[in-house]
């Protein structure tokens, strides 16, 4: 397990972080300090990689299954003449990530910068989430799109048809 710059992280009560997880708060000199918040009773399974350069909030009772990647930053690659490795070029754009309470993130999924998942969202395995998802929705695919929504009137998950993400 790797925990980097934990002074920029706030971890709730009864949070489980499994072996092999990598949680990094990246501090860059030109930006405000990173802020990672992980809510109570959240599970972070094996080989999850979380990178927070600006702000990331993971709600309460969230399950992040094995092999997932959640990032709020990208690496710049525009200037091919820049002698630095791409891995050392960090975008200075603020694109926070928010994962609402009671979400489930399926194995090997990727959540990219600027994404907000509402409460009770389910992310299908191996999905790439590039856009926001509303409360009570199931997203899947690459790029992920809403495939189901919870209908409280009938108390069931219903097909979303050709629904798209909110942004």
Residue 166 is assigned to a structural domain of this protein: no
**For the chain, how many structural domains are there in total?**
1
For residue range 34-70, what is the model confidence (pLDDT) as tens digits?
A: 999 999 999 999 999 999 999 999 999 999 999 999 9
Any idea which of 64-68, 94-98, 102-106, 112-116 has the lowest mean pLDDT?
94-98
- Is there a domain that residue 14 lies in? yes
- Give the mean pLDDT of 123-136: 98
Which has the higher per-residue pLDDT, 65 or 85?
Answer: 65
**Does residue 75 carry a catalytic annotation?**
yes
Is residue 167, in this structure, part of any structural domain at all? no
User: What is the model's pLDDT at position 165?
Assistant: 46
Q: Is the pLDDT of residue 1 over 80?
A: no
Phi, psi of 99 (to 5 degrees): -120, 120
CA distance 146 to 164: 6
Say what the pLDDT of residue 86 is: 60
Q: How confident is the model at residue 166 (pLDDT cuts 50, 70, 90)?
A: very low
Q: Which CATH number is 102's domain given?
A: 2.160.10.10
Residue 97 lies in a domain: yes
Does 164 fall in a domain? no
Mean pLDDT of the chain: 90
Residues 144, 145, 148, 151, CA torsion sign: positive
Catalytic one among 41, 49, 75, 108? 75
Is residue 18 situated within a structural domain? yes
Has residue 145 been placed in a domain? yes
- d(CA 148, CA 138) in angstroms, rounded, equals 5
Identify whether 67 is part of a domain. Answer: yes
Its domain, for residue 73, covers: 2-159
Instruction: Answer whether residue 77 shows pLDDT above 90.
Output: no
């Amino acid at each position: 397990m790797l925990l980097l710059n934990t002074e920029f992280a706030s971890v709730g009560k009864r949070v489980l972080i499994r072996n092999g997880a990598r949680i990094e708060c990246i501090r860059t000199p030109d930006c405000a300090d990173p802020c990672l918040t992980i809510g109570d009773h959240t599970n972070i399974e094996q080989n999850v990689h979380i990178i927070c350069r600006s702000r990331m909030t993971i709600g309460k009772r969230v399950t992040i299954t094995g092999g997932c990647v959640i990032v709020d930053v990208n690496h710049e690659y525009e200037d091919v003449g820049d002698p630095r490795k791409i891995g050392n070029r960090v975008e200075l754009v603020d694109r926070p990530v928010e994962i609402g309470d009671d979400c489930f993130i399926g194995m090997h999924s990727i959540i990219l910068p600027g994404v907000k998942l509402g409460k009770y969202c389910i992310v299908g395995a191996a999905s790439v989430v590039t856009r926001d998802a509303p409360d009570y929705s199931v997203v899947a695919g690459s790029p992920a799109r809403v495939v189901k929504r919870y209908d409280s009137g009938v108390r069931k998950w219903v097909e979303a048809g050709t629904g798209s993400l909110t942004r």
